Amino acid sequence: MEFRHLGRSGLLVSEISYGNWITHGSQVEEEAATACVRAALDTGITTFDTADVYAGTKAEEVLGRALKGERREGLEIFTKVFWPTGPGRNDRGLSRKHIMESINGSLRRLQTDYVDLYQAHRYDYSTPLEETMEAFADIVHSGKAHYIGVSEWKASQIRAAHALARELRIPLVSNQPQYSMLWRVIEAEVIPTSEELGVGQIVWSPMAQGVLSGKYLPGQPPPAGSRATDEKSGAGFIARFMTDEVLTRVQRLKPLAEQAGLSMAQLAVAWVLQNPNISSAIIGASRPEQVHDNVKAAGVKLDADLLKAIDEIVEPVTERDPAKTESPAQRP
């Protein structure tokens, strides 16, 4: 495993991290989820990402039990706050009330005294940014989180939050956006702003919800039991990539992966890690062998000719519009 600094902070994270958005507490049984966490640890992954909303808070519980007994100082545990976690009017958003209650719930479920990174899961237009950042500052100063991050925030929002974080003397060090060969909306504005401010990206869906693994074929129904057939595991989200044009072009990547000595999934993960502003790429898994396969993308260097060939194939179906950041349809 290779390690990178999270932005310009001193925190080192595994360049491939393990996330449990869809799997833990919902798609797979706890025994299988725990086996995937053990596989991640065995392959050198030390960074684990979750959120209070995943599986209605159950994902945090599963991860907490799976990591129990591990040396806490050897792990980087990330979680998030924003989406509804209860039926009440204040069980959502980035108000001081919800943030303060949510961090305590997350720590209890994760069975830890602190998280290494606490992230605003989306931007809250109904709460003053000052209120949100002051609540985060109190959490950092109380020792319940070491660093602060955001997820799917626009460049202007990251800049405003970063300025407040400096005033409040807390480290806002990361953003968690979707990023893959097919979804590059952060390249135009978010990445340049983040590079300027010292903010690193922890990217989700580097395989475009599994589409870049090559398992979905144009003109054919999705394999039984795959993510594209399961409403609970993001079938609605993956739909944007499930066109014959996209799937046909993805199949054309296979010879390039073979040329590089990589599986399609490994090529997809390695591709996002070529961007120096990417601190870590999040992978998920329902089986341990998926973890063992994907982690082989760590440390891979793709040459310029290969990167150019990839661009030539996927460019016609690549989404680059920065306005697509924080699309309501995105919810990991």
Query: Which residues does 6 contact at the CB level (< 8 Å), separation at least 6?
Result: 12, 13, 117, 147, 173, 174, 200, 202, 279, 280
Helix (H) or strand (E) holding 34: helix 30-42
Judged by DSSP in three states, 24 sits in strand
Kindly state the greatest CA–CA separation across the chain. Answer: 55
Look up residue 234 and give its amino acid. Answer: G
> What is d(CA 256, CA 272) in angstroms, rounded to the nearest whole number?
16
Rg (CA), the chain: 19
| Helix intervals (H) in 117-253 | 129-141, 155-168, 190-197, 235-238, 244-251
Give the number of other Cβ atoms within 10 Å of residue 25's Cβ. 21
Q: Is 179 a catalytic residue?
A: no
Residue in 18, 54, 123, 179 annotated catalytic: 54
Which 8-state DSSP code applies to residue 23? T
Q: How far is CA 187 from CA 108, 138, 190, 197, in A?
A: 37, 32, 6, 15
DSSP 52-71: TTGGGGHHHHHHHHHHTTS-
As given in the structure block, the two tokens for residue 264 are: 């399609």
Q: How far is CA 104 from CA 35, 52, 70, 82, 111, in A?
A: 27, 11, 21, 14, 10
Judged by DSSP in three states, 172 sits in strand
Judge contact between 265 and 177, C-beta under 8 A.
no
Active site residues: 54
